[in-house]
Structure 1
Amino acid sequence: MTEARRRARVFCARFGLGLPVLQAPMSGSSPPELAVAVAGAGGMGAGGVLRDSPRRIAEWAEEFRAGSSGAFQLNVWIPETSEPDPAERQRLIDGARQFLGGFGTPGEPGGPDPPVFREQCEAMLAARPTAVSSIMGLFEPDYVRRLHARGIAWFACATTLDEALAAEDAGADAVVAQGMEAGGHRGSFRQEDAERAEVGLFALLPRLADRLRVPIVATGGIADGRGLAAALTLGASAVQVGTVLLRCPETGTSREWAAALEDLGPEDTVTTRAYSGRLARAVRTAYVRAWAEPGAPRPALFPDQLRLVGQWRRGTTDGLDRSNYWAGQSAALATEEPAADVITRMWTSACGLLPG
């Protein structure tokens, strides 16, 4: 058996999987139905709980378990520890508000209050998933100990070797190596460094594999068996996929967003802060392009930009995307098929490419 196959087999045995494919925990695009379908194919389902209350986290886990006894992860963002300068923060808000005025009339301000991070963490403990995963930072040591005491693994997203080593030292059971090709938000620990640290997955993987002791889960631009086989060959034990599942019926992606992914070239995705204030890869829509034009202001910080965009979406606007069109660079490989078929085909194809 080759080393690549051995790593995948060990990872699958440890976490109760039939094949080394994890669903990306996409906040707002990870309904229990999708996780059930992925787990049913032998992979690991996922829920992104960034916007979820403790009650909704518990309900999501119950709905998943009603349809599957398989493995699943729950994912949350780590809050920033430093407060921005109030005057600078307000300056960015004012500039973003004025710029958004060019897209129409805003609706009422407000929206639901964001959930409390510590309460979310307690709810994830109570849900007892296979793994709890983090992005944009590390959990506190006490929380890691509590996870492990309940038999819950911790998967930590990292975009650089320094971040990966810090996660390993902090007790992570696996590192999710996120390449710049990935759709959605960048996992950089320091948001001000996110643009500088845009490293491609196949450059990042060998660098991590040569230094880490814990398993690596590769994510970013993987959408078929070729990418899966390549990731395992370069040192990963499993892969995590998101964009390739966005057109699956179980995901519930809006018709407009799904249509934007069809035959989308890698060059037609860009990293932007225009939706949330944090760097993320999305479709290069007219709205996203506008924020990159000369003279356009820098988007407000998170969550201010997110709230402002939400306010304008509640109003009467023209040219503002009605949802965040997240997309990885392999979006063109996404198909309108059941998620189980996508996952199964990926692994079957990879097996045909990997040496025995």
Structure 2
Amino acid sequence: VADPVDVVSFTFGIPGRDVVEALQEVGTAVVVTVAGVQDARRAVEAGADWLSVQSAEAGGHRSTTTIGERPDSISTVDLVRSVRSELPDVPFVAAGGISTPQDVAAALGAGADGVQLGTVLLRTREAGTNALYRAALGDPRFTESRPTRSYTGRYARALVNGFVAEFDAVAPPAYPLLHVLTGPVRKAATDTGDVEVPPLWAGSGWRAAGSYADRPAAEVVAELWDRGTTLTG
């Protein structure tokens, strides 16, 4: 508020109306990431300018608003349809597993106003992804990504490596304490090149990231959007 920016986005919770209005009064658009219709309604009631509607296909942390809540398995297209049906006039973007022009077209066709990309950009030139992570996204030994709270105590979708396989069933809902606890182990494993330990956050379409390896992120965004919108027309 003291030093305004164009957009402020929230996740893991919905800000109070007083927070939203304070930001809007200085010209900031407020975005709230939601994982279901109920939270989408709450975000709109709080005054959000637009929403990021995130499905179970998204890599990394799912934006549920309670720590112990196990995410559902709804697809991006189905969630978009549900939110659009309940909130016909609310602007929102779709997030989760969007990695091809066909995915873009499907999300727009289901009612989203735009799309948000994540995993598909992880091997682009500007991503800053470490070499171990980049290689893992193209490694054929990894055949599944799934939500796990084994790293942070909060559900996040990752490639299933040895750490996930061993600790997924016993990890407590203790975010961010578990995140702090596992941090040194994760860093040490990354430093030594042990791919079976660090979190390899990845959405359902992680394989497509290889198609865009080492390309400029802006070029990838433009290509997916241009080709996807062409398909919708």
State TM-score, norm by structure 1: 0.59
Q: Contact 1:277–1:306 (CA<8 Å) still a contact in 2? A: yes
Matched with 1:349 is 227
2:16 paired residue among 119, 128, 140:
140
User: Are 2:182 and 1:275 equivalent residues in the alignment?
Assistant: no
Q: Does the 8 Å CA contact 2:144/2:160 hold for their aligned counterparts?
A: yes
Distance 1:256 1:166, change over 3 A: same
Give, in angstroms, the shift of residue 215 of structure 1: 0.5
Work out the CA distance in 1 between the residues paired with 2:193 and 2:38: 43
Q: Which of residues 109, 128, 152 in structure 1 aligns to 2:4?
A: 128
Structure 1 position 223, deviation (Å): 1.1
CA drift of 1:321 comes to: 5.0
User: Considering only aligned residues, what root-mean-square deviation do their CA atoms show, in Å?
Assistant: 2.3
Counting matched residue pairs gives 227
* Mapping for residues 1-356 of structure 1, pairs under 5 Å: 125-195=1-71, 197-212=72-87, 213-262=89-138, 268-292=144-168, 297-299=170-172, 301-313=174-186, 323-334=198-209, 335-336=212-213, 337-355=215-233
Structure 1 residue 227: Cα displacement: 1.0
Instruction: Report the CA distance between 1:266 and its aligned residue.
Output: 9.5
Q: Given that residues 33 and 52 in structure 2 are in contact (C-alpha distance below 8 angstroms), is that contact kept between their aligned partners in structure 1?
A: yes
Quote the Cα distance in structure 2 between the aligned partners of 1:224 and 1:340: 15
On the 8 A contact 2:102/2:228 being kept in 1, the answer is yes
1:267, 1:329 within 8 Å by CA — same for their partners in 2? no
What is the DSSP-based 3-state SS (H/G/I as helix, E as strand, rest coil) of the residue aligned with 1:192? coil
Q: In 1, distance between residues paired with 2:103 and 2:131?
A: 27
Report the more deviating stretch, 262-271 or 277-286: 262-271
Tell me the secondary structure at the aligned position of residue 210 of structure 1.
helix
The 10-residue stretch of structure 1 (148-157 or 197-206) with the greater mean CA deviation from structure 2:
197-206
Flag the structure with more relative contact order, 1 or 2, with Cα contacts below 8 A and sequence separation at least 6: 1
SS where residue 217 of structure 1 aligns? strand
Give the % identical residues.
34
Partners of 1:266 and 1:177 in 2: how far apart? 27
After TM superposition, give the deviation of residue 324 of structure 1 in Å. Answer: 2.4
SS where residue 222 of structure 2 aligns? helix
Deviations 1:67-109 (A, max 9, x none): xxxxxxxxxxxxxxxxxxxxxxxxxxxxxxxxxxxxxxxxxxx
Report SS of the residue matched to 1:351.
helix
Change in Cα spacing, 1:261 to 1:163, as seen in structure 2 (3 Å) is same
1:191 Cα offset (Å)? 2.3
Which runs of 5 or more structure 2 residues have no equivalent in the other structure? none
